[in-house]
Amino acid sequence: MSGGRQRSGPQRRLAGELQLERWSDAPNRCALVYPSGYHVGMSSLGFQQIWRSILATDGWTPLRAFNDDDEPSERPFAYELNRAMPEVEAIALSVAYELELAGVITMLERLGLPPLRRERQPDHPIVIAGGPLTFSNPAPLLPFVDVLICGEGEGLIKEVLQRIEGEDKASLSALLSGLSGVVVATERAPVLLPVAKADDVLLPAHSAIVAESTELRKMFLIEPERGCSRQCTYCVMRRSTNGGMRPVPAQAVLDAIPQGVERVGLVGAAVTDHREITDLVNALADRDFSIGISSLRADRLKRPLLEALFRGGYRTVTVALDGASPRLRRVVRRKTEDQHIERVAREAKSVGFMKMKIYMVLGLPTEHDEDLENLAHELIELSKILPIDVGLSPLVPKRNTPLYCAPFIGVKESDRRLKLLRRLLKGRVNVRPVSSRWSWVESVLARGGLAVGEAVLEAHRRGGDYAAYKAAFKAVGYLPDGSVGSDHAPMGVDGGVAYGLPGAAEALAQTTELKVLRKR
C-alpha cells in the first residue's frame, strides 16, 4: 500500500465507529481524555456518558483522546476532528482506577502541560478529573488537576463547564462554590471528598458511539440499573456509597436501543439484582441481539435466567465468589454460599454452558491457609461439573468501605498464598492471578494522599516500572510488605476497621461490620 493511503491506528479505529449522536463543533472545546488506550476507554459507559453530557452543554463540544502508542504524533489524536488535538479551553479526564494515574501524567505531558498544577500557567486550560476512581480515593489525583468531580459526574460536568466558560482560573473556588461533589484542588488535602449522585432523569446511561476496536466489540452498552443495594464490606459500590440500586424499567431499556445495533451489553454494579432481568434478557434474545452482561450474582442465577443468557449467546458463566471459604464470605457480607455456586454450575451445564469463570479475592482479613484448602476443595469439586477458570487478586482495601484500614497482605505473602493454592489445585483448574506487585502499587494509591500522588510522578520519571514505584513509595513510607506511610486519605463513608491507621479506632467503634469480625 502506498504511504499516502495508509491509515494510522486512530484512523482505523475511527473507521470502525457507529456514531449514534450527531456531533457538532462549538466555540469551546473540551478534550475528553482517557488515560488508557482506546479499546479500554470506549468500553467505558461512564466515559461515553460524559461525552454526551459535554455535547449537550451549550457552547461546548467534546474531543476524545486516548493513551495509545500507535498515534501519528506526540500530541494526542482528537477523534472528532481526525487530527492532532488542537488547543482547547478545558481538559476533562475520566479515571477508572488507581493504576491509571501514570496515564493521567502521560496525557497531560502529551497535551503540552506540566503535570503538576502548581507548575502550570494561568493561561493553561483548566484540568477537570472524574470517573469511577472518584467513588473511592481520588486524593492522589489532586496535585495534577484543578477540579475534581467526585462520584456520578454526568450532571455536574455541564454545570462546571458553564460556570468556568471564559473565566479566570484564579476564581475557580468562587465559580464552583455550592456544587456538591465538586472539589477545587489546593495544596492541602481536603478532609472530605464527597460522592455526587446524578439526577435519575439522566438514566439509563447508554452508548453514544458503538466501537469495533474495543474489548466489547461493536456492543451497544446500556445501564439498566445504577449502584448496588448489597453490603459487601470491601466494595466501593455498596449501598452506603451512593444510596443503593436505582433500577430502570425494562421497557425503558428496550426503548433506548437504537436501530443498527446487533450486540447489547447490560452494564451495572448489580444487573442481576434487577427484578425484571430475566424478562429483559429474553426480550433482547427475542430481537436476536447478542447479549453481554457485566455482573452475574450466583444467588440470582436461576435456571430461567441461565436459559435466557444462553439464548443471547452466552457460553461461559462468570461469577464472583470473593472469599476463600464460607466463613470469610460471611465476614465480608458476601452473600454467596458454596451451594449457590454448585447449583449454578450444575444448571449451567444442563442448559449447555461450556465453562465457568470465577473471580476470587485472596487476603481478606482473618484468612488462613485452611481457608485456601477449603477453596481448592470447592474449585476441584466444581471442575468435575464444568471446566473452571479462576481469576485471583489480593484484597486492595478501598476508601469509602469498611475494610479501608485492613492491611494489604504484602507482595511476598500474596505470592506465597497463590503458590499454595496452585499446589492444592493440582492443575485441575486454570488459575489466572493478577500481579501481587502491581496490586500493592494499587493498594498504596487506594490509600494515599497528595504526597503519594507526587510519588507517582517521581516513579513515572524514573521509568514507571515496579522498581521505580517501590523506590518512590518507600520515600513516603509505604513498603511492599503492606506498611503504610503517614500520607493517607481520610476515612470517608463507612470509616474503616482498625488496622493501625490514625483515627481508625474511633471509626471502628461506629462500624457495624466490626461486630461481624468480632463474632468469628
Per DSSP, 426 falls in state T
Question: Could you say whether residue 274 binds ligand SF4 (CB under 6 A)?
Answer: no
User: Of the two residues 337 and 415, which places its CB atom closer to ligand SF4 in the complex?
Assistant: 337
User: Of the two residues 238 and 399, which places its CB atom closer to ligand SF4 in the complex?
Assistant: 238
CB 123 to ligand SF4: min, Å: 43
CB 253 to ligand SF4: min, Å: 19
Q: In what order do the strands lie in the sheet with 90-94?
A: 60-66, 28-34, 90-94, 126-130, 147-149, 182-184
CB 111 to ligand SF4: min, Å: 34
Scanning 57-65, 141-149, 231-239, 463-471 for contacts with ligand SF4 by CB under 6 A, the matching segment is 231-239
Among 90, 270, 358, 360, binds ligand SF4 (CB under 6 A): 270
CA–CA gap between residue 84 and residue 172 (Å, rounded): 29
CB neighbours of 154 closer than 8 A, spacing ≥ 6? 49, 50, 52, 53, 198, 202, 205
Pick from 67, 198, 48: which is nearest to 135 by CA? Answer: 198
Number of residues that bind ligand SF4 (CB under 6 A): 8
CA–CA gap between residue 310 and residue 314 (Å, rounded): 5
Helix axes 303-311, 338-351, angle to 10 degrees: 40
User: Of the two residues 207 and 241, which places its CB atom closer to ligand SF4 in the complex?
Assistant: 241
Question: Could you say whether residue 237 binds ligand SF4 (CB under 6 A)?
Answer: yes
User: Of the two residues 10 and 363, which places its CB atom closer to ligand SF4 in the complex?
Assistant: 363
User: Of the two residues 182 and 269, which places its CB atom closer to ligand SF4 in the complex?
Assistant: 269
Among 141, 269, 451, 493, binds ligand SF4 (CB under 6 A): 269
Q: Would you say 245 and 197 are in contact if contact means Cβ atoms under 8 Å apart?
A: no
CB 270 to ligand SF4: min, Å: 5
Pairing of strands 17-19, 209-211: antiparallel
Scanning 21-29, 74-82, 230-238, 414-422 for contacts with ligand SF4 by CB under 6 A, the matching segment is 230-238
Pick from 220, 221, 239: which is nearest to 229 by CA? Answer: 239
CB 400 to ligand SF4: min, Å: 12
Q: Kindly provide the residue ranges of all beta strands, DSSP E only, lying in 340-498, ordered along the sequence.
A: 355-362, 388-394, 430-433
CB 237 to ligand SF4: min, Å: 4
DSSP-assigned beta bridge partners for residue 236: none
Pick from 399, 385, 424: which is nearest to 495 by CA? Answer: 399
CB 109 to ligand SF4: min, Å: 35
Among 29, 158, 230, 263, binds ligand SF4 (CB under 6 A): 230
Scanning 64-72, 232-240, 446-454, 481-489 for contacts with ligand SF4 by CB under 6 A, the matching segment is 232-240
Question: Could you say whether residue 228 binds ligand SF4 (CB under 6 A)?
Answer: yes
Question: Could you say whether residue 332 binds ligand SF4 (CB under 6 A)?
Answer: no
Backbone angles phi, psi at 31, to 5 degrees: -70, 120
Q: Would you say 472 and 480 are in contact if contact means Cβ atoms under 8 Å apart?
A: no
Q: In what order do the strands lie in the sheet with 219-222?
A: 219-222, 263-266, 290-293
User: Of the two residues 148 and 228, which places its CB atom closer to ligand SF4 in the complex?
Assistant: 228
User: Of the two residues 446 and 455, which places its CB atom closer to ligand SF4 in the complex?
Assistant: 446
Bond before 204 cis per omega within 30 degrees: yes
CA–CA gap between residue 371 and residue 396 (Å, rounded): 18
Question: Could you say whether residue 232 binds ligand SF4 (CB under 6 A)?
Answer: yes
CB 227 to ligand SF4: min, Å: 8
* Residue 415, SS3 per DSSP: helix
CB neighbours of 233 closer than 8 A, spacing ≥ 6? 331, 332, 333, 401, 402, 403, 513, 516
Helix ranges restricted to H, 448-491: 450-461, 466-474
User: Of the two residues 103 and 492, which places its CB atom closer to ligand SF4 in the complex?
Assistant: 492
Q: Could you tell me how many residues make up the chain?
A: 520
Scanning 8-16, 29-37, 64-72, 226-234 for contacts with ligand SF4 by CB under 6 A, the matching segment is 226-234
| Site residues (CB under 6 A) for ligand SF4, limited to 413-432 | none
Binding mask 238-257 for ligand SF4 (x = CB under 6 A): x-------------------
Among 31, 105, 209, 235, binds ligand SF4 (CB under 6 A): 235
User: Of the two residues 263 and 274, which places its CB atom closer to ligand SF4 in the complex?
Assistant: 274
| Site residues (CB under 6 A) for ligand SF4, limited to 166-185 | none
C-alpha cell read off for 178: 455550592
Question: Could you say whether residue 300 binds ligand SF4 (CB under 6 A)?
Answer: no
Scanning 134-142, 234-242, 398-406, 413-421 for contacts with ligand SF4 by CB under 6 A, the matching segment is 234-242
| Site residues (CB under 6 A) for ligand SF4, limited to 393-412 | none
Residues found near ligand SF4 in the complex (CB under 6 A): 228, 230, 232, 235, 237-238, 269-270
